[in-house]
Structure 1
Amino acid sequence: MSKGFDWPALMRAGLHGLGLKPDEFWALTPVELQLMLGSDASRAPMLSDGLAALMAAYPDIKKDDQDER
């Protein structure tokens, strides 16, 4: 199971290290913040196997006809 994000460390890096204002920090996507902090260029992009694993872990939930009103 994933441990998730280390928010205190990310906030220190963004607010103190990069000098972002809170609204600028929270407007960033995780990928944008990663790039600003120095992305690990050696990491390979996600391919179809990775996407298939994500889709299996987080399947779309189909809504009933009544839910679409």
Structure 2
Amino acid sequence: MRLAGLAGAVLGWRPEEFWRATPAELVAVLSAFVDETPDAATADDLARLMEMFPDG
């Protein structure tokens, strides 16, 4: 939720724009605001997030 809020506050994205963006797109846009690019999510990271936040 913090990331969605950040995208809204800093980028001016509405919720539907945030949720349609891919992780790579979000990293690309947010990396313009910092000196270093964060590591890409791994398959384990995504599996952990899917377990924490199921779509059911």
What TM-score does the superposition give when structure 2 sets the normalisation length? 0.52
Counterpart of 2:3 (choices 7, 10, 34) is 10
Q: What is the RMSD of the two structures over their aligned residues, measured on CA atoms?
A: 2.7
Superposed CA deviations along residues 11-60 of structure 1, whole A, max 9, x for unmatched, are 1111111100111111000110011101618x6x8xxxx8xxx5xxx8xx
Q: From the CA coordinates, give the structure whose radius of gyration is larger.
A: 1
Q: Which runs of 5+ in 2 are unaligned?
A: 48-56
Q: Which runs of 5+ in 1 are unaligned?
A: 1-7, 59-69
Equivalent residue pairs, number: 39
Larger proportion of helix: 2
2:28 alignment partner in structure 1: 35
Runs of 4+ deviating beyond 6 Å: none
Q: Quick check: 1:24 aligned with 2:17?
A: yes
